[in-house]
Structure 1
Amino acid sequence: MTSLAVTMKGQVTLKRDLLQHLGIKPGERIDFDKLPGGELRVKAARPTGTIDNFIGRHAGKVKKPLTIEEMNEIAASGWAGDE
């Protein structure tokens, strides 16, 4: 078990090995869940995207609209790992 010191401001700095274990990189966020008995659950905050972010990220990259059949083929190959 790792123990950390609390600063006068009430802050704690997580050590690099703990951050690596969580898969946290600089600039990313961490979620804390309060559990009974004064315990905390710490986990990497995984951002949830919106459809607007998705559309904005891919805007202008598709030359022509895809048919439903083409979309189904792409989705099927992605699930099969044929990327």
Structure 2
Amino acid sequence: MSATVTIKGQVTIPKSVRDHLGIVPGSRVDFRRTADGQIVIEPAEAKPSSRFSQLKGHAGEGMATEDIMALTRGEP
């Protein structure tokens, strides 16, 4: 497989490679060099979610204010 590099240094990853790696629009990828000098592309590891990610977009139906405050403070 081959791809052409644009003037901006961009390359379209072939669909078969994207499908194999599970890469979708918005995915992040890592490039790393192996011991023998080859370059490998792989999906980037997801960042650990924060305690706030559960609240993104809404406070959650049925959650009391005290529960929300405890969650944002990291209290059990």
Is this a same-fold pair by TM over 0.5?
Answer: yes
The size of the alignment, in residue pairs, is 63
Find the aligned partners of 1:44 and 1:10 in 2 and give their Cα distance: 19
Q: 1:7 to 1:60 in 2, by over 3 A?
A: closer
> What aligned pairs does 1:38-49 form with structure 2 within 5 A after superposition?
38-48=37-47, 49=49
Q: Which structure carries more helix by proportion?
A: 1
Q: TM-score, normalised by structure 1?
A: 0.54
4+ long deviations beyond 4 Å = 62-65
**Structure 2: runs of 5 or more not aligned:** 68-76
Find the aligned partners of 1:51 and 1:42 in 2 and give their Cα distance: 30
> CA RMSD for the aligned pairs?
2.4
- Identity over aligned pairs, percent: 35
> What aligned pairs does 1:48-59 form with structure 2 within 5 A after superposition?
48=47, 49-54=49-54, 56-57=55-56, 59=59
